[in-house]
């Protein structure tokens, strides 16, 4: 179902761009953000926050997130740390080691509030680190700063 939603969203975006181009007010295509979060309610909240400004894709664990990142080549990843199978630190590390993904901006969004966790995340390549709970405007601001 998510694949169908993403396909419909892409079709809608293409139609909008074509219409705007005809009217002389074409805009740049939306940037793509991949949310990797194992808690459905949090993932959905993040998606709602970002969907008006970005093409948003979801992954529910680290393994799925890595597969999707390699498939869609997002502009940014919003990444939880504590997840089953592969944690966010390992996902971050693998993204940074993959030449086709090394440019991707990574925002770690987590409830792990120990300073050494933030240092570890930033040390392995995260571009920013946001503590849960956070204000929606904070996530939007961080992504806007990163992606322009």
Domain coordinates in residue numbering, the chain? 30-147
Per-residue pLDDT of the chain (148 residues; tens, 9 = 90+): 544 554 545 455 445 445 544 554 556 789 999 999 999 999 999 999 999 999 999 999 999 999 999 999 999 999 999 998 899 999 999 999 999 999 999 999 988 777 777 888 899 999 999 988 889 999 999 999 999 7
For domain 30-147, give the fold: Rossmann fold (3.40.50)
Nearest to 142 by CA among 83, 88, 77, 91: 77
Residue 17 is predicted with a pLDDT of: 45
Nearest to 80 by CA among 36, 121, 129, 127: 36
* pTM of the complete model beyond 0.85: no
Residue 133 is predicted with a pLDDT of: 87
Helices (H), the chain: 2-22, 40-50, 62-72, 88-97, 115-123, 136-147
Q: Are the CB atoms for 54 and 143 separated by under 8 Å?
A: yes
């Amino acid at each position: 179902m998510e694949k169908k939603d993403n396909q419909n969203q892409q079709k809608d975006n293409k139609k909008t761009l074509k219409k705007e181009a005809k009217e002389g007010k074409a805009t740049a295509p939306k940037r793509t953000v991949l949310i990797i979060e194992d808690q459905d309610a949090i993932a959905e909240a993040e998606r709602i926050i970002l969907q008006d400004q970005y093409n948003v894709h979801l992954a529910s664990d680290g393994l799925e997130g890595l597969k999707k990142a390699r498939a869609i080549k997002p502009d940014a990843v919003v990444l939880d740390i504590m997840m089953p199978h592969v944690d966010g630190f390992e996902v971050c590390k693998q993204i940074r080691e993959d030449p086709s993904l090394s440019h991707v901006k990574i925002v770690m969004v987590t409830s792990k509030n120990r300073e050494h966790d933030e240092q570890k995340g930033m040390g392995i390549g995260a571009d920013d680190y946001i503590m849960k709970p956070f204000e929606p405007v904070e996530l939007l601001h961080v992504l806007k700063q990163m992606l322009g």
